[in-house]
Amino acid sequence: MHDTPRPHDLLWGMRPEQLPADAPAWAVAVLAAGQPVVVRRARVAAGLVAVGLRGATRDQRLAALMPVEEIGHRLAPEDLLARQASEDLPVFRVLAELRPLLDALGYVWGVTGSAGFQLATGLPTAHPDSDLDLLLRTEHPLPRSEARPLLQLLERRACRVDLQLETPLGGVALREWAGDGARVLVKTADGPRLVGDPWQAERAA
C-alpha cells in the first residue's frame, strides 16, 4: 500500500480527545465508537493528516486533523473491493456489474462515499437512492477519447455513478473530463483549480 495516506483513504485510531473542544456531540460519539475518518484534501503541517468525520445524517460532517502517529489501520478505496456488501442495494448491485468491466481496463480503482464506508464498517450508510462513488487512479494521462466511452460504460445503471480520476494534480470528475470544456475543475490540496490538462501542473491557473 502507498505509505502516505491519500484522499478517500479510511483511517482508524483517532480519539475523541483529539477533536476541538467545541466539536459536536455526534462527532465525539463517532470516534468513541471506533469509527474511521476519511482523508480529505488540504495542506497541513508535518505529522498531521486532514480528515473528515461523518455522522448518521448528510449534514453531520466535520473537518479535523489527525496525528499520523495515531493511525492504527488504513483502508484505501481499492481495498474495499474485496468486501462483501451487507445489504442488497442498487449501489452494491451496480458495483458488482461494473467490477469486471473496470478491472478489464487495467487501472487501479476503488469505491468511496457512502457505499465505500458501508463496505469498510458494515454500518448502514448507503440507502436505496445513494449514488455510487468510484475512484480511478490515473497517474498517466487518460485521453479524452478514452474517457468518453468509459463514461458511457457507467451510464444507464440502476443508480447514478460518479467516477473521479485521481491525477498527479488532484481529483477530476470523469464526467467533466469526458466533456468538451477547454478547462476542467481539479480538486487539489490548495483548493479547486481550473486547468487545461490535469496531468500537467504547470498549466494550472
Closest CA to 83 of 107, 127, 118, 113: 118
The C-alpha atoms of residue 190 and residue 153 are separated, in whole angstroms, by 32
Do residues 25 and 55 make contact, with C-beta atoms less than 8 angstroms apart? no
Task: Name the strand (E) or helix (H) holding 14.
Answer: none
Task: Name the strand (E) or helix (H) holding 120.
Answer: helix 113-121
Task: List the catalytic residues.
Answer: 131, 133
Exposure of 53 by Cβ count < 10 A (0-12 exposed, 13-18 middle, 19+ buried)? buried
